[in-house]
Structure formats: C-alpha cells, structure tokens
Amino acid sequence: MHKDELLELHQQMVIIMEYFRGQEGINSALFDPYDELEVTPDDVHKSKSEHKHAVFVLGNALATAMSEDEFSSAGRIGKRMKELADDAERKL
C-alpha cells in the first residue's frame, strides 16, 4: 500500500472513531492508546511505518468497540489488529 493510500485509510478510520466517540455506551478510553501515539492523518511528515502502526492501534480500538466478546468476529479482528500493531511497533 502506498503512503497516500495509507493516509486515506487512516482518515476514514478516524471518521469512524469520531462516530463511535459520539455514541452512548462506548467507552471513549478505548481510543486512548491511539491518541497517545500523536499520529494523525494530517501528519504527512510522519513515516509510513508510524501511520501503519497508528492504523493497527486504531483498528484494534474500533474492533473492540464493536465486539460483543473476544470470540465474536469483531473480537477476533481486534485481537489480530493488536498483534499487527505490536509487530508494526517493533519495526519503528
């Protein structure tokens, strides 16, 4: 995936995150690990690896927000996103 495509994906995921933050019953603390990265889609000067890591961290938070439990489809996706985020972080 090219960096510009990754930035577009990152932007779309942020839009989804903002939707979830506005919903009742969603713990907004789920998105704290993403916020702590301080990597936004507007940070075009950040590396592709940093954006990739941010996308996986955000993907994990979104999947967790959508999951009923760790065995649901979203729960399994969240677990995989966590694994990918950890792998991407090691490569930074």
Per the structure, the complete domain to which residue 76 belongs is given by 3-22+30-90
Q: Is the dihedral of CA 39, 41, 43, 47 positive or negative?
A: positive
The pTM of the full predicted model, rounded to 2 decimals, is 0.85
Q: Could you tell me if 12 and 56 are in contact, meaning their C-beta atoms sit under 8 angstroms apart?
A: no
Give 1 or 36, the one with higher predicted confidence: 36
Total domain count, the chain: 1
Question: Which percentage of the chain shows pLDDT scores above 90?
Answer: 68
Question: Which domain CATH number covers 38?
Answer: 1.20.1270.110
Q: Could you tell me if 44 and 89 are in contact, meaning their C-beta atoms sit under 8 angstroms apart?
A: no
- In this prediction, residues 78-86 reach a mean pLDDT of 90
Number of neighbours of residue 41 by Cβ within 10 angstroms = 19
**What DSSP string runs through 46-71?**
S-HHHHHHHHHHHHHHHHHHH-SSTT
